[in-house]
Amino acid sequence: MKRILILDFGSNKVPQLEAVVGQYADFQTVSFSVFHDAILPDFKGVILSGAPILLTEDDISHYITALSWVKTTPLPVLGICFGHQLLGILFNAHVARMKECRSLNEIEHFVDCPLLVHIPRVFEMQEDHCESISIPEEFELVANSDECVNEVMQHVSKKLFGVQFHPEVSGTHGAILIENFIRLC
């Protein structure tokens, strides 16, 4: 079975993420505070969790330094909410405050993406954020919503993906998205 690293940035949704990932793969959750990139060869893919942190209000330099490996890793990486934003910032996206979005939200995808196989063109996912990012260098926009321009993005040549919403608490479509990511691993 594939082994997935869940990098925990302190989200209260990590137990739900572990439950969904555990349906499809073995996993290990590691807190960001004790993470070191020497463990990466033990895994087939990495999920960057959400976090109760505002990037517009915190010094993010330690995140950027600790995650510099993402730019060169051959491993598939999925960033969720805060993880999506960090992934974008690594590739020069800009983060900005926005109106809070903390409910189910209708999202539309308009670019083929392996994360969204077997998910309808218009789907609902649970949001829980008040920041968003621009489209980073080397990424393409895959899906957006009325609430947020960058709901799903993918790197143009690497297996790097970001989703602004929380698939781990979004029911069937969220589980399909996570299963699709694990298949890529």
Active site residue 84: no
Q: pTM of the prediction?
A: 0.96
Burial of 70-99, coded b for 16+ CB within 10 Å and e otherwise, reads beebebbbbbbbbbbbbbbbbbebebeeee
Residue 128: the pLDDT is: 77
Active site residue 94: no
CATH of the domain at 107: 3.40.50.880
Average pLDDT taken over every residue of the chain: 94
Confidence label for 58 from pLDDT (cuts 50, 70 and 90): confident
Active site residue 173: no
Residue 103: the pLDDT is: 65
- The answer to which of 28-37, 102-111, 144-153 has the lowest mean pLDDT is 102-111
Q: Which of 18, 81, 113, 147 is catalytic?
A: 81
- Structural domain range at position 159: 3-184
Q: Which of 109, 129, 155, 166 is catalytic?
A: 166
* Count of domains for the chain: 1
Q: Which of 127, 147, 151, 168 is catalytic?
A: 168
Q: Residue 99 pLDDT more than 80?
A: no
